[in-house]
Structure 1
Amino acid sequence: MMRVGFVGTENSHVKHFIRFLNLDQRHPGYRAVALSGGRGEHNADLAEYGGLDVIVDEPSELVGHIDAAIVCNRDGGLHRPATEPLLRAGIPVLVDKPLATTVTDARAMLDQAEESGSTLVSASALRFVPEIAEFTSGAADRGELRHLHVAGPADPDSEYAGLFFYGIHHVETALEILGNPVVRPGDVTVQAERHGDLVRASTTIDGRMVTFTFVTPSDGGQAPFHATAVHTRGALAHNLTLGPDYNAATLDHFVTAIGQGRAPLSPEQLLTPVAILSAIAEQV
């Protein structure tokens, strides 16, 4: 039995993951067993909901109780200190977007995973929505991709590390459509500007022009995630829809990685979205 523990339990995604594992039993041989963050009311409710037996104060105290971990802090700036002791113990870890909010933190986490031989996975759920396949499967018929645009909600003033809370979805979507090219931090060149509730940014990724629009959510709702790809012989535009169980694909991704003993993306590919979004955030 693979025992799974959770960090960052304030995030609603934790309850989703517990349901998938313990109530729906979507992954036989895997079970949610432990929470960090102390014995507050919220963790007590989660433990009762999923039948979890262990609650600890600090992420490091999960070691010995679990075989895999999912880190879900809303503030990605907390991911490095939460993840490093788990990786050091050789525990495979899923970091529920973003991997980190600085290149320095991301590199440190990736280096720790390599040193200990543990599997480190991170992914936006938008990588797995059905519309992404439409952008990639028929691309050859549309000719060379000239311009990719991804739009959606993100608040540069969010208490959860600004643009990183939702904006990482935009960047990972673009990278998934482009085939996950590597962009090294020193090679990132972006132009970004803020206009009221909008942030617009442009860059070049693997020789293709890529632009992003981040729209601050309002009390009345938020902009949908959307992608437009302009090719030499055609174009494709789609809203990107997250279904009610959108986190299930991310968990599937993690379980597959554990089974294979390696992350689907290389360390350089995992670092790339952090490098790009950091460069954008620095300008706004």
Structure 2
Amino acid sequence: MRIGIVGTENSHVDHIVGHLNVHDAGGDARVVALSGGRGRRNEALACTGGIAEIVDEPADLLGLVDAVIVADRHGSHHRDQAIPFLAEGLPVFVDKPLACTVDDARAIIDTALAHDAPLASFSALRWIPDADALAARSARGGPPHVVVTSGPADPDGEYGGIFFYGIHPVDLALRLAPGEICDVRTDTTDTTVTASFTAGGTRVVVNFVEPTATHQIPFHGMTFTQESMVQQTLALDANYCVPGLEAFLEMARTGRPPIGYTDLLRPIEVLEAVTDALRSR
């Protein structure tokens, strides 16, 4: 499987190239082409991974690859970057977030559906062992009445504000709380943003804590069911991107997306509502 990458400044690309090309741990999958031209970053990745093709524009990858990873840090670019490949029926993984507006997210999903192109997008946290453990322990107590997640996020960050890191605790929360998003409320302090809403029948609270120059809070999840309270701090090891990468590779091989397309839209709905509330203030 020949994989091309769009948006190579993201540190996740180092994990992907290392796993697939350096360690040969992805079966027949290898990164064979990068877009963005022959800058220092792409030259270094090509040297590390033995990648022969570096092209200038994302569309130049067409004909060179069988699947595409869109890893640009800024979600507002993802619509234009992903749609040309989906329109050709290629499997596409859009690294978090899918987009920075619901309209852009819907356009990406609609293109995937129209051309029968498998599409995935998620936070890497969704698939790590600590997230699996939290979900499994919570499920033993029945459906959650309340889900609370927390993580670092900067509402003024240069890569789409709260979308860039905020997608992590939101996606984790929505893994645990299925259902339609309703009544998003946003509250703030000098250092925090809190989104509270309902997802189906579950009350969800997501805390975004602004990082400092030297420290950020860990990711954390907690559920309250009829029978139990379960909590878990989520640790990110050197291989935290691998489970999500393997989910994408499985999709590319089978054509079956790991997450339903409605669930791709839900975190964008939450974060757009939070962004709108912050902007209005």
Q: TM-score range by the shorter chain?
A: over 0.9
Q: 1:221 aligns with which of 215, 219, 233?
A: 215
By how many angstroms is 1:232 displaced? Answer: 2.9
Change (3 A) 1:269 1:140: closer
Alignment of 1:5-16 (within 5 A): 5-16=4-15
Correspondence 1:121 to 2:120: yes
Which position in structure 1 is the counterpart of 2:193? 199
Correspondence 1:212 to 2:206: yes
Partners of 1:142 and 1:234 within 8 A in 2: yes
Which position in structure 2 is the counterpart of 1:157? 156
CA distance in 2, matches of 1:165, 1:139: 27
Alignment of 1:198-277 (within 5 A): 198-277=192-271
Runs of 5+ consecutive residues of structure 2 not aligned to the other structure:
none
CA distance in 2, matches of 1:142, 1:49: 47
* Alignment-mate amino acid for residue 107 of structure 1: R
Change (3 A) 1:263 1:232: same
Query: For residues 64-83 of structure 1, what are the alpha-carbon distances to aligned partners after superposition, in whole Å with 9 as ceiling and x for unaligned?
Result: 11111111111111111111
By how many angstroms is 1:140 displaced? Answer: 5.2
CA distance in 1, matches of 2:265, 2:258: 13
CA distance in 2, matches of 1:33, 1:55: 9
Correspondence 1:56 to 2:50: no
By how many angstroms is 1:117 displaced? Answer: 1.3
- Residue 145 of structure 1 aligns to a residue whose secondary structure is coil
CA distance in 1, matches of 2:100, 2:154: 14
By how many angstroms is 1:122 displaced? Answer: 0.8
- TM-score, normalised to structure 2, is 0.95
By how many angstroms is 1:141 displaced? Answer: 4.6
RMSD of aligned residue pairs (Cα, Å): 1.4
Partners of 1:132 and 1:177 within 8 A in 2: no
Runs of 5+ consecutive residues of structure 1 not aligned to the other structure:
none
CA distance in 2, matches of 1:134, 1:245: 17
- Give the aligned length: 278
Which position in structure 2 is the counterpart of 1:104? 103
Instruction: Give structure 1 regions of 4+ aligned residues with deviation exceeding 3 angstroms.
Output: 138-144
Partners of 1:164 and 1:277 within 8 A in 2: yes
Change (3 A) 1:276 1:118: same
Query: For residues 221-250 of structure 1, what are the alpha-carbon distances to aligned partners after superposition, in whole Å with 9 as ceiling and x for unaligned?
Result: 100001111223321111111111111111
Query: For residues 103-155 of structure 1, what are the alpha-carbon distances to aligned partners after superposition, in whole Å with 9 as ceiling and x for unaligned?
Result: 10011011111111111111111111222233332435535522111001000
CA distance in 2, matches of 1:46, 1:224: 29
Partners of 2:179 and 2:201 within 8 A in 1: no
CA distance in 2, matches of 1:140, 1:265: 18
By how many angstroms is 1:203 displaced? Answer: 0.5
Which position in structure 2 is the counterpart of 1:76? 75
* Alignment-mate amino acid for residue 70 of structure 2: V
* Alignment-mate amino acid for residue 241 of structure 1: A
Partners of 1:59 and 1:86 within 8 A in 2: no
Change (3 A) 1:224 1:266: same
By how many angstroms is 1:280 displaced? Answer: 1.6
Which position in structure 1 is the counterpart of 2:145? 146
Change (3 A) 1:166 1:140: closer
- TM-score, normalised to structure 1, is 0.94
Identity %: 42
Which position in structure 2 is the counterpart of 1:189? 183
CA distance in 2, matches of 1:175, 1:143: 16
Change (3 A) 1:235 1:117: same
Partners of 1:99 and 1:274 within 8 A in 2: yes
- Residue 64 of structure 1 aligns to a residue whose secondary structure is coil
